[in-house]
């Protein structure tokens, strides 16, 4: 039987450690880190995500502000607000909850966020810095994936890592992080021939497609580490991952559940990034 990688448990440990750091700032009478989250419209899933982020901030001690806009807000007004927050010295992190309404250019929104405050790690400058292995704010989900893997396998140098999915949000930045850990990385996608032959070679298999049940027992190598990122609500009203958990779990050594796997780690990494942005800005200001 596999060891279940409960992301929610690891995430709480990480937030507890971050809370200790923030408590020390309070004791030193220093300014507290602040995260601003902008939510456009009333998408139910986005409401849940934002509420979870606010709850995490409260636990860690990070100040948080939720700015809500009607879905009919014009793009110019949203951009102007982000620019205002860019120059607000009390704000360390800015996050615009995606998706935004179709009449708003999400790329333009992301590009407007100051690179030092881009705690989602999606600004092209941060993306580029990650590629050339320079200090930057790293996308939260890939960072959480790496933390999960290293919690059971601290040294992954030389391991075969296969990522199914090549999105800018998960697949590509995860590949870069694993390369920086000296793993041998293969990226698979919808044009990949004979997916099974590649995934069966993986010491570490990361599924990030959003296609429930894509990865079966026939896709995995015995004793592998399986990270299931894909999530999609099915007809039964429940969230399902890309991995057929019941089939795969008996074969491998470590596997994330769905839910309570990668999701909680993403939020924990958002807290970590916000604190990192705070430290970087304070250091730059000479405080």
Catalytic residues, by residue number, are: 53, 97, 120
User: Exposed (0-12), middle (13-18) or buried (19+): which is 209, by Cβ within 10 Å?
Assistant: buried
Q: How far is CA 250 from the centre of its chain?
A: 27
- Asked if residues 186 and 125 have their Cβ atoms less than 8 Å apart, the reply is no
Q: At what angle do helices 44-60 and 7-27 cross, to 10 degrees?
A: 50
Spatial separation of the C-alpha atoms in residues 22 and 28, rounded to whole Å = 10
């Amino acid at each position: 039987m596999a060891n279940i990688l409960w992301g929610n448990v690891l995430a709480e440990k990480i937030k507890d450690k971050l809370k200790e750091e923030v408590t020390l700032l309070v004791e030193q009478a220093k300014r507290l880190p602040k995260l601003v989250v902008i939510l456009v419209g009333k998408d139910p899933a986005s409401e849940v995500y934002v509420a979870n982020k606010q709850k995490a901030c409260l636990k860690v001690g990070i100040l948080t502000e939720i700015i809500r806009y009607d879905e009919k807000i014009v793009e110019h007004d949203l951009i102007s607000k982000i620019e205002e927050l860019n120059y607000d010295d009390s704000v360390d992190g800015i996050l615009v909850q995606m998706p935004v309404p179709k009449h708003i250019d999400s790329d333009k929104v992301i590009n407007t966020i100051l690179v030092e405050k881009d705690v989602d790690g999606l600004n092209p400058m941060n993306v580029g810095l990650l590629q050339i292995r320079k200090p930057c704010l790293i996308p939260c989900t890939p960072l959480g994936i790496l933390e999960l893997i290293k919690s059971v396998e601290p040294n992954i140098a030389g391991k075969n890592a296969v990522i199914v999915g090549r999105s800018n949000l998960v697949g590509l930045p995860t590949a870069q992080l694993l390369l920086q850990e000296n793993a041998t990385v293969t990226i698979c996608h919808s044009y990949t021939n004979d997916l099974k032959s590649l995934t069966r070679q993986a010491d570490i298999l990361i599924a990030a497609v959003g296609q429930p049940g894509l990865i079966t027992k026939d896709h995995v190598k015995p004793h592998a580490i399986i990270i299931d990122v894909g999530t999609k609500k099915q007809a039964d009203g429940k969230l399902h991952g890309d991995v057929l958990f019941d089939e795969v779990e008996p074969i491998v050594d470590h596997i994330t559940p769905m839910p309570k796997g990668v999701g909680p780690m993403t939020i924990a990494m958002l807290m970590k990034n916000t604190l990192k942005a705070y430290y970087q800005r304070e250091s730059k200001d000479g405080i």
